[in-house]
A and B are shown apart, each in its own frame.
Chain A
Amino acid sequence: MVDNWGFIAVLTLVAFTVPLIGLALSWLLRPHRPGPIKQTTYECGLETIGDSWVQFKVQYYLYALIFVLFDVETVFLYPWAVAFLGLPLFALVEMVIFLGILAIGLIYAWRKGALEWV
């Protein structure tokens, strides 16, 4: 168990180093000729108008919000699923109630138009 996480840790280091080496090699080999026009923001040759960091649609936020709640739900489902075989029938009833209550939430969000992209 501990071994396995150790392997993951080592892989993380290796996986981070390899692209760094690639970038460093390329830095040594490639030309460096920056210019004022080259370094402008790429917008199909037009002058950039205004700031990019502007306010965005609230819809993105709404999706993320609903996602958080269902993500937490999924987290509860996993231990249940692993243990499911070998549990009494009661576990099935419990889970149907759990899912049913959350399905109400999904239906509510749907009805209220929180899932509409407008």
Chain B
Amino acid sequence: MSQQTVVQLVFGVMAALSLGGAMGVVMARTVFVSALWLILSFVGVAGLYITLGAGFLAVIQVLVYVGAISVLILFAIMLTEDVMGDEHPNNGQVGLAIILLTPLIFLLGKWGFTANWPVKAAAILPRSGLSVDAATAAALPGALKTGDAFLVPDSVAYLGRVLMTEHFLAFEVVSVVLLVALVGAIVIARD
């Protein structure tokens, strides 16, 4: 069992989790249970990030989507009196959905497997803590110079450095977006 097989196996499990969770969301008996399935789906997506080597993104996914947004959704459901009952929303359009979605899934799958995904060399970060030469370091904005060699930063430090130098404007805009969202949410919720 090579590393490759293990990664594929884990990928399969995680994909099943996120898709199964998504199925649960649409099939569940009540909105509350739907929200719970959504959490499972989020966890599956976090797992997919891990298989891609994006540990930071995975923990952020859990922290924000599971730890915050899902709590918000659950609270919102608990606050809405009508949906707490044991209703069974039966959807008569299941057949139509299947007919429409089957070709779509097929096409997406085909594109996914046949497309020639461009991979930027610099996008793949070598292991953190490695020493690299100046040429490789030039492609890594976060590389630290230590003597003659360049040290590959760990992924979070790398992200922080890029965020603070190249993308500082986007970073500041985020704070404004968050502020607008906060003000808007309070205004709407209090009326």
Q: Which A residues are closer than 8 A to B by beta carbons?
A: 1-2, 5-6, 9, 51, 53-58, 60-62, 64-69, 71-73, 75-76, 78-84, 86-87, 90-91, 94, 97-99, 101-102, 104-105, 108-109, 112-114
Contact = CB atoms under 8 A, between A and B. Distances in A.
B183 A108 contact: yes
A112 B144 contact: no
Contact of A1 (B55, B75, B168, B189): B55
A83 B168 contact: no
Q: Interface of chain B, helix or strand or loop or mixed?
A: helix
Nearest to A111: B186
A113 B68 CA distance: 21
25 contacts: A53-B85, A55-B78, A58-B189, A65-B186, A65-B189, A68-B64, A69-B185, A72-B178, A79-B56, A79-B156, A80-B160, A80-B164, A82-B157, A83-B153, A83-B156, A83-B158, A83-B160, A84-B160, A87-B160, A94-B168, A97-B175, A98-B172, A105-B182, A108-B183, A109-B182
Contacts of A65: 72, 185-186, 189
B163 A79 contact: yes
Contact of B75 (A60, A72, A98): A60
Interface residues on B, range: 35 or more
Contacts of A82: 154, 156-157, 160
Q: Interface of chain A, helix or strand or loop or mixed?
A: helix
B175 A80 contact: no
Contacts of A109: 182, 186
Contact of B179 (A80, A102, A112): A102
List of 10 A-B pairs having minimum Cβ-Cβ separation, nearest first: A83-B160, A79-B160, A55-B81, A53-B84, A101-B175, A105-B182, A79-B159, A71-B68, A64-B72, A68-B68
B29 interface: no
A80 B171 CA distance: 11
B175 A60 contact: no
A1 B142 CA distance: 20
A55 B83 CA distance: 10
B76 interface: yes
Given A9-B10, A97-B172, 8 more contacts: A54-B84, A61-B72, A62-B186, A65-B185, A66-B182, A67-B72, A94-B172, A102-B178
